[in-house]
Copies of this chain bind each other. A is one copy, B any other.
């Protein structure tokens, strides 16, 4: 390891910028964990073969952004930043994470069709046993898991959901194509519960850790229920923000 990290000179990107991006991606990759100390400026300068002041500038730009905190005499530490997650009519994960100056990401865990349970049918305005689309996604910020969401979709409003989702890779884009781009959240229920084993594995926390559970209903512009969701947020990273 630590094989003279690759910084390119003379390509139009300043050294401090390259180092800042490398540090940020190392944080996102979990190489430097929140709360832990970064190597000292001297060490980083040696690692990247640059002057200490160049490292200082890289650290400075990340500190200004809130990702690092430097204290004279102690060292530089990775911030433990919580994500402020507003629960409003218009809630879009990637926009929220970007607004928190983190890099959003995610992956599809599973998807398919199933018969609606009584609970799902009630909230989607269907009969129990009708076929609905069910999907589960894991969302991350700076490479760290934030939330797992399970959702059920009214098939009649978005007939080609699975194929379209495969093509577009985003629920909201599929809704848009189906003419339901202006969907909105109507009701939400929030509770704090212990995390089960399945979610704990996905979110990389221990089972039983407190998580926020949010049930909500999304409706089309005309008020028809289109999506019922059950989202679980890591309690140690996310703060929900209610009200307008």
The interface of chain A, by Cβ under 8 A from chain B, is 11-14, 16-18, 20, 61, 108, 162-163, 166-167, 169
Contacts and interface: CB of A to CB of B under 8 A. Distances in A.
Nearest 4 A-B pairs (CB), nearest first? A12-B17, A166-B166, A12-B14, A13-B13
Interface centre among A16, A162, A166 (most CB of B within 10 A): A166
A39 to B, nearest CB: 21
A169 B167 CA distance: 8
A16 B16 CA distance: 18
Main secondary structure of the interface of A (DSSP, over half): helix
Contact of A11 (B17, B18, B162, B167): B17
Contacts of A16: 12
Contact of A13 (B14, B61, B163, B167): B14
A157 B70 CA distance: 55
Nearest to A12: B17
Nearest to A61: B12
Contact of A166 (B12, B14, B20, B167): B167
A12 B64 CA distance: 15
A17 B13 CA distance: 8
A11 B17 CA distance: 8
Contact of A12 (B13, B108, B169): B13
A61 B12 CA distance: 10
6 contacts: A11-B17, A12-B13, A12-B17, A12-B18, A14-B14, A163-B166
Nearest to A15: B12
A225 to B, nearest CB: 26
A218 to B, nearest CB: 23
A167 B17 contact: no
Given A12-B14, A14-B14, A166-B169, 7 more contacts: A12-B13, A12-B16, A13-B13, A13-B14, A13-B17, A108-B167, A163-B166
Contacts of A11: 17
Contacts of A13: 12-14, 17
